[in-house]
Structure 1
Amino acid sequence: MVIAWVMVLVVVGSIAFHLLSPWWFPPLASNWGYIDDTTILTFWITGVVFAAVILFMAYCLFRFRHREGHKASYEPENKRLETWLVSLTAAGVIAMLTPGLFVWAQFVSVPDDAMEVEVIGQQWLWNFRLPGADGQLGRADNRFVTFDNPLGIDPDDPAGQDDYMIVGGELVLPTDRPIHFALRSVDVLHNFYVPEIRAKMDMIPGSVTYFWATLTEPGTYQILCAELCGTGHSYMRGGLRIVGQDEYDEWLAGQMTFAAFSS
């Protein structure tokens, strides 16, 4: 009976901790409130299942506890119970996965008018590349990475000469404009993560991953690496500042182009 009451207290304590916990989502700073909705739905489903299973175990300890004169009966299977358990489990899994599939489809369906930004991860630094006057990024490849070309921009591609380079500095982006984040790593696995814009995506050497977001709240945010990438992983942090279009244009005009950097 003590164990049964402990199980009941675990459920009550878990619910109280969830309701009173200070560790809620940070304020949303992008259009991806859908991600919050799917996360909350998952919490509800898994929370209800957790509470139901623990309380059922407590009930079984109470209902079928040892009592003098009572004898346990052995039932090897119960088809009706198995059908209910399989059906409820399948319904719960479908309810959790289906919204996520729709949100993921939106997450990687980049609008045609999105502004492209390249994020380059390396141990243990964040670098960025923005299109110049031609509005497009030039070709890049890790084989071109050198001390004088840390982002691996193709020096023979004219489209890359006016690309703006931010090496180890703060990234500034405008509000209320769709941004296409192209993610690349020059060494090992990294993960681009900005909690406030609900952005999290692996960066794989030799591949380009991506997502898009519309940044809605001006402010300064931290860029984190969410993939263990070596001894300096915890120090791999960058800055993201979201500003109005005029302030962004002024900041961009002061950045160095690839042509100027490599000359």
Structure 2
Amino acid sequence: MAIAIIILLLVIGTVIFHFISPWWFTPLASNWSAIDNTVELTFWITGIVFVAVNVFLVYVIFRYRHKPGLKADYEPENKKLEGWLTLATTIGIAAMLAPGLYIWGQFVAPPDDSIEVEAVGQQWHWSYRFPGADGQLGKVDTRLISEDNPFGLDPSDPAGQDDILIFSNELVLPLDQPVKVLLRSKDVLHNFTVPQFRVKMDLVPGMLSSLWFTPTSVGAFDLMCEELCGIGHYAMRGRVVVKAQEDFDDWLARQVTFAQTQDRVAGDSALGRAHYQVCASCHGAEGEGNQALNAPRVAGQDIWYLRRQLHNYQQGVRGTAEGDQFGGQMIAMAGLVADEQSMQHLLAYIDTMPEPARATAEGNLNNGRQLYRNCVYCHGEQAQGIYHMNAPRLAGLEPWYLARQIGYFRDRIRGGHPDDFYGAQMSLLVQSLRSEEDIADIVAYINSLSAAD
């Protein structure tokens, strides 16, 4: 009797919890209400079966409980019962599958008036590409991916010259306009999921998959990767912002095309020397850095990373957080190379600087080696930095500066700005460093590495 009562209570509790549970769908913000209806239908069918089977089990336990003098009767076959059970199961499965197949037929057939956008996934970042005035996306090839061509567009394809490139993790879309999203991966399996849109699809390396939806609500919605794609999988976040058509058109008009990214004139190191004179007062004549002025070394650092940080200072992504007093000093300095060509000249000159001798750092190298295992996938085994992972070089950075930046990420002084996507990732990842000793140990280990090895 006790087991029958327990089963009955579990059934009643499960049904009550289903209806009062706070864990339910996010508010719908697309045209796919049919997917909600299909899921709810599945809940009803499986729920009815769950209740019926368990109530029947309670009845059987009670009705045929042990009584002295009674003997069980063994009946191995009952064709009539088996027939009814087969029929009921077939009807239930068909009732669940048929609507899903019908909805799937709609899901893979986007409307003719859909706009196209390509979403590109890589560990652990999203970027996007819109067709230009010609309405066509240019050809791509992963073998063409480089620092100057991160999408791998074919420069010889005329259709790709006016493609609009979005280097941010934020995708902006127009309200009430069907959107077909083409999905491409640069490296491993990823998944494009926006819970409020009720859409998701895998990104498979070497293949082009797609999905479509119509945004029906203005706002910002989280974009997640729901395919385990590596150690930083949980930090692979993006955002879809839905705006009115006029606002979307204004935003799109401000973005750069592939042709514009390729028109950048190479920097002149001789001209860059003049630009660097202002920087030299803090960072040193040879870019060696100056701890007394809280200025890190810039010689030997990846040029693409320095460019990104200068842009971040100019746009207020860095240097504006409370507690970042030294970053705040850089905002005015970065403004001196506000035009792209001046920045190119400056970076070209920095690129000619010899790598200075590294400072020493004390710490437990064995513990640092263990802690660095979480970093190696992005920054490399020798902390040399990996461009395609958007991870800068760490080897050779001054221990005091590296420790301070880790502390900044841990305390959200860096990585807290909504546009600092990579900083936000780092803020999540450095939480594994639980003490100042851990930070000292990992800094000492990084300091023992050589990017040239």
Q: TM-score range by the shorter chain?
A: over 0.9
Q: Which residue of 1 aligns with 2:22?
A: 22
**Matches of 1:143 and 1:99, distance apart in 2:** 42
Q: Which has the higher contact order (CA 8 A, sep 6+)?
A: 1
**Matches of 2:169 and 2:119, distance apart in 1:** 12
Question: Cα offset for 1:217?
Answer: 0.4
Question: Cα offset for 1:144?
Answer: 2.1
Once the two structures are superposed, residues 142-188 of structure 1 have per-residue CA deviations (whole angstroms, 9 ceiling, x without a partner) of 23222222212121111111111112331100011111111111111
Question: Cα offset for 1:225?
Answer: 0.4
2:30 corresponds to 1:38: no
**Matches of 2:75 and 2:53, distance apart in 1:** 20
More strand by share: 1
**Matches of 1:80 and 1:141, distance apart in 2:** 62
Equivalences for 1:1-263 in 2 at 5 Å? 1-263=1-263
- One-letter amino acid of the structure 2 residue matched with residue 129 of structure 1: R
Question: Cα offset for 1:196?
Answer: 0.5
Question: Cα offset for 1:60?
Answer: 1.2
Once the two structures are superposed, residues 44-95 of structure 1 have per-residue CA deviations (whole angstroms, 9 ceiling, x without a partner) of 1111111111111111111111001211111111111111111111111111
Once the two structures are superposed, residues 11-33 of structure 1 have per-residue CA deviations (whole angstroms, 9 ceiling, x without a partner) of 10111111000111111111111
- One-letter amino acid of the structure 1 residue matched with residue 71 of structure 2: K
**Matches of 1:144 and 1:105, distance apart in 2:** 35
Which one is further off, 133-142 or 95-104? 133-142
**Matches of 1:63 and 1:165, distance apart in 2:** 70
**Matches of 1:108 and 1:152, distance apart in 2:** 27
Once the two structures are superposed, residues 77-118 of structure 1 have per-residue CA deviations (whole angstroms, 9 ceiling, x without a partner) of 111111111111111111100001110110110111110010
**Matches of 2:35 and 2:189, distance apart in 1:** 24
**Identical-residue share of aligned pairs (%):** 56
- Provide runs of 4+ in structure 1 moved above 3 Å: none
Q: TM (normalized to structure 2)?
A: 0.57
**Matches of 2:118 and 2:95, distance apart in 1:** 35
The CA RMSD measured in Å over matched residues stands at: 1.0
**Matches of 2:142 and 2:85, distance apart in 1:** 51
Once the two structures are superposed, residues 213-244 of structure 1 have per-residue CA deviations (whole angstroms, 9 ceiling, x without a partner) of 11110000010001111101100000110000
**Matches of 1:161 and 1:187, distance apart in 2:** 24
**Matches of 1:216 and 1:164, distance apart in 2:** 24
**Matches of 1:152 and 1:121, distance apart in 2:** 13
Which one is further off, 243-252 or 151-160? 151-160
Aligned residues, how many?
263
3-state SS, counterpart of residue 51 of structure 1 = helix
Once the two structures are superposed, residues 194-220 of structure 1 have per-residue CA deviations (whole angstroms, 9 ceiling, x without a partner) of 011111011111111112111110000
3-state SS, counterpart of residue 77 of structure 2 = coil
3-state SS, counterpart of residue 181 of structure 2 = strand
3-state SS, counterpart of residue 202 of structure 1 = strand
3-state SS, counterpart of residue 240 of structure 1 = strand
Which one is further off, 147-156 or 77-86? 147-156
**Matches of 1:163 and 1:75, distance apart in 2:** 72
3-state SS, counterpart of residue 120 of structure 1 = strand
**Matches of 2:136 and 2:177, distance apart in 1:** 16
**Matches of 1:137 and 1:180, distance apart in 2:** 13
Q: TM (normalized to structure 1)?
A: 0.97
Unmatched segments (≥5 aa) in structure 1: none
**Matches of 1:32 and 1:207, distance apart in 2:** 25
Question: Cα offset for 1:253?
Answer: 1.2
